[in-house]
């Protein structure tokens, strides 16, 4: 039972660290925002045609 809890905690910590690294070093939130802005501009440009 303790071993199962330890494995679950280890997986949680690995995922948490991966998310933190992706957000802080790879600019995850900033990239998603820029993709959203680009998509909105593209959609606005296509609406007139």
Burial 12-36 (b: 16+ CB within 10 A, else e): eeeeeeeeeeeeeeeeeeeeeeeee
pLDDT digits (tens, 9 = 90+) for 19-38: 988 888 877 677 778 888 88
Q: What is the pTM of this model?
A: 0.51
CA angle 20, 22, 27 (to 5 degrees): 110
The pLDDT, as a whole number, for residue 38 is 87
In angstroms, the CA 45 to CA 49 distance is 8
């Amino acid at each position: 039972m303790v071993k199962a809890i330890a494995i679950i905690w280890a997986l949680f910590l690995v995922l948490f660290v991966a998310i933190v690294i992706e957000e802080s070093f790879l600019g995850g939130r900033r990239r998603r925002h820029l993709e959203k802005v680009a998509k909105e501009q593209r959609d606005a440009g296509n609406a007139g045609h």
